[in-house]
Structure 1
Amino acid sequence: MRDTGMGAGLGGESLLFLTDEQLRQGIEAMFFAYRGFTADPDRILADMAYGRAHHRAVHFINRAPGTTVNNLLNILGVTKQSLNRVLRTLIADGLVESRVGQNDKRERHLYLTEAGRALEQQLSDAQRARMRAAFREAGPDAVGGFRRVLEAMMDPEMRRAYARLKENGA
């Protein structure tokens, strides 16, 4: 295992006493990792004049077909105006379909079209390849630790939403 200077070779207890410098290095690693994680999808989306908000919407609609606009608002944590702008584009371009709710006519349920599923597959394939390579390089213990760290960084409400997603489709 590589020493990242952040206590990689240390026991779990020593991680409780990270210095500000080690924490800064972790924060910077997150910034650069996120940049790498989003680079491939960003290139794909740029050709379509889409951004990361489109990607997140497509991802979570695919993850929970039939999700409501309100549920998507809660998951993404964006304004209704912002999400409506993204959804209007995705619907107009034939990637997302909005259906009126069966029980509540005010609800709008969202589904990816065949073209939307193809785009989501292309985007997620790129991210899965990067994630698979990183997980393989880091090893199984690091993968488990990485997931625990990410979950611990989530606000309680987001952790509950994440747990529901895992339960409903993992």
Structure 2
Amino acid sequence: MSALRIRPARPEELERVVELWLEASRWLASRGSEQWQYPPRRGRMAEAVRNGECHLAFLDGHLAATVTLQEKGDPEWWADDDPTAALYVHDLTVRRPLAGQRIGARLLDWAGAEAGGRGRPWLRLEAWKTNRSLHRYYLGQGFELLRIVDLPHRNSGALFQRRSAMRTRPAGTPE
């Protein structure tokens, strides 16, 4: 399996992040999904890039995916959960020609290691409420469905979490 190189996105790469999101949006629409069928939230994406939270993943030197990893969850979803106990995954997208190569799974494993390295016992995410195939995917990746929050003004709200990969030594320390 080829190495996946993950690094923070740079401000000049915002359009690459947006294009990955748009590619995923078009693919979802082609499958009849309502998920992400709105204009990309460039402001939110730009802020994540500025804050070093948005990452790009490269496979054999080519852009393969993006994921945003944040220290705080959306309070409408995670108000009943200790926000300091987790890192939160957002906007995970893999280029469609690379589907089936476990890139998403590898990004989730990387995010879990990041959470563990920061002393966070959980990796959390929310998914579109009606995207049952996405729910099955996350369950297959070791996540547990905590609950579905049904807010009339939001289409997401299926809340998942799994244990992070807690490290016994600081990140970057040789094993």
TM-score (norm 1): 0.29
Looking at CA atoms only, which structure, 1 or 2, has the larger radius of gyration? 1
The structure with more helix, counted as a fraction of residues: 1
TM-score (norm 2): 0.29
